[in-house]
Every structure is written in C-alpha cells, then in structure tokens.
Amino acid sequence: MFYHIKELQYNAKPDKPDWVYAKKLQELIGGQFGEMSVAMQYLFQGWGARKHDKYRDLLMDTGTEELAHIEMLATMIARLLDGAPVKEQEKAAQDPLLAAILGGMNPQHAIVSGLGAMPVNSVGVPWQGGYIVASGNLLADFRANLNAESQGRLQAVRLYEMTDDRGVKDMLAYLIARDRMHQNQWLAAIKELEDKEGKTVPSTFPKELEKEEFSYVFMNLSRGDESSQGRWAQGRSMDGQGTFQYMQEVPPFAPAPKLKPAPPYIHDTPPNVK
C-alpha cells in the first residue's frame, strides 16, 4: 500500500519559466534511464523478491523514493512551462523558419498535456516497460541498477550544465547527490552478494557443465592486440576460480554450416541456381 504525502521530497521551483528547458528535462522522467525506469525497476524487483528480507526492503525503499523524484521533476516541468508561448507554437507549425528561431519547445506540452509533464523522453518518445530489468536474480538485478544510476546521474549532470537557473540547479544538485548514494548502495549490496555467493551470475550453475577450457579466455577478434594489455587478459580471474588467457589467433571450432534447402512454398532460390 502506498500513501501520498502532499509535500515534495525537495524543492522544485525554477527562478523563471523556460519551456525549451522543460523539453530537455523530460529525459529525466521518461527516458531510458529516467526516474520512471528506476522507480518501476526497483519496485518490480522488490515485488518479485521471494524473501521478505533486507534486500527486498532496500528495493522498496529506493523504488518509492524514485516515485518522489518523478513528482519533483513533473512539478519543475509544470513551473518551467508557465507562460509558454502557445500561440507562437501554433504559428511555428506553419512556418519552419519561426520554429527554428523559437529553438524547440515540445508542442505536445501545450497540445497534449496542458502545460504539464508527460511520460516521454526529451524528444517525445513515450516511456516503455521494456526499459526495466527485473530478473529475480538479485546480483544480476543490482548490477543493472548500478548501471541505471550511473547513466541517470550522467544525464542529470549534463542537464545541470545546460542551465543557469538557480532553482533548477538546486533541485538537480539534490537528485545528483541522491544518485551518488544510490550508486554506492548498489555497490555495497553487490559486494555483499558477491562475497556470499560468488561473482558470476548465476552462481548456482555447476562449473563443470561449462566448456571450462573457454571460461577464462579472451579472444582477439580484431586487427591489433591492444586488448592484450588489459586486466582481463592476464592474471587471476575476477571470480578467483581461474586464470585469464589471451588468444591471439582464434581458430574456427566448428565446420562451415550446411543448411537444408527450403521447401518450395518458401519460394527461396533453388539449390541448383547460382
């Protein structure tokens, strides 16, 4: 069960409207690595967790916080859209030169949402559930969460650099700080699980059922061998169960495939025609 508290988690008030920046800020709501993605990702991971333990609580706490971030961003976008030049946008639809001069307010902010935020990214592509990862394997999911927070923080920092509005920067500074915490918490949870279960996902598959001669071989499949200088090409493997090897020349391990001809109803090229 969720309860909505009317106050915001943090301030979301710009110094002045900026309808063009409102379009840019949509990325942090409905983009692939926006707040909608991480909120749904953490909540679905939590709802799918089979044990009601500290990891499930971690997911539910963080997913709920991300819902608060969506509300902050939606409020900021609505305030940035105050006084948006709707009539000018109507003219721009008929005059490409005027559209270029205006610099790109999203007309859907006026036409579709009535000067409110939308579940879309900065170019108007709708958010989709395919952005989220919820596999049921905690280590795999927490690594995906670390990536999501890394990408999201990167985008928030880039947006911070795109404005001089003190109010917008203040809110973004808060979100950027929370993203630092979230990266660190996923790193901590990953470390805990790796120490307990091992570093390779899934840890429960018997290693002897793998083709173990290939388990720690880096294959050079490009011209040049700069990749041989990396940590992944030499020394003890990161899971501590093998030694990295570098394969300079990769031979074929299977003969060239020979496929049966397609049946006539496929209308493929007959085998005897060249």
Cα 131 off chain centre by? 7
- Residue 100's pLDDT band (cuts 50, 70, 90): very low
Looking at residues 40-46, what average pLDDT do you find? 98
Percent share of the chain, pLDDT over 90: 82
Q: Is the pLDDT confidence value at 101 over 50?
A: no
Same domain, 146 and 232: no
Same domain, 44 and 127: yes
Based on the domain organization, do 94 and 126 belong to the same domain?
Answer: yes
In-domain check, residue 256: no
State residue 108's pLDDT score.
Answer: 87
CA–CA gap between residue 209 and residue 206 (Å, rounded): 6
Per-residue pLDDT band for 90 (boundaries 50, 70, 90) equals low
Query: Same domain for 39 and 144?
Result: yes
Report pLDDT for 91: 56
Asked if the structure places residue 122 within a domain, the reply is yes
Which one, of 79, 60, 56, 59, lies nearest residue 8 by Cα?
Answer: 79
Asked if 150 and 227 sit in the same domain, the reply is no
Are the beta carbons of 106 and 84 closer than 8 angstroms? Answer: no
Examine the domain organization and report whether 155 and 51 are in the same domain.
yes
Q: Span 228-237, mean pLDDT?
A: 97
Same domain as 124, residue 230: no
CATH of the domain at 93: 1.20.1260.10
Asked, for residue 237, whether it belongs to a domain, the answer is yes
In a domain, 272, yes or no: no
Say whether both 135 and 153 belong to one domain: yes
Residue 83's pLDDT band, with cuts at 50, 70 and 90, is confident
> What is the tally of structural domains in the chain?
2
Kindly indicate the confidence band of residue 88, based on its pLDDT and cuts at 50, 70 and 90. Answer: low
For residue 156, the enclosing domain spans 19-197
Contact 80, 21 (CB under 8 A): yes
Dihedral angle computed from the Cα positions of residues 8, 9, 10 and 15, in that order, rounded to the nearest 10 degrees:
-30
Predicted TM-score (pTM) of the model is: 0.89
The model's pLDDT over 149-190, given as tens digits with 9 standing for 90+, comes to 999 999 999 999 999 999 999 999 999 999 999 999 999 999
Residue 144: its H or E element: helix 138-160
Tokens for 24, please give them.
């840019």
Q: How many CB atoms lie within 10 A of CB 246?
A: 16
Residue 46 parent element (H or E): helix 35-48
- Average model confidence (pLDDT) for the chain? 92
Question: Do residues 169 and 160 touch, judged by C-beta distance below 8 A?
Answer: yes
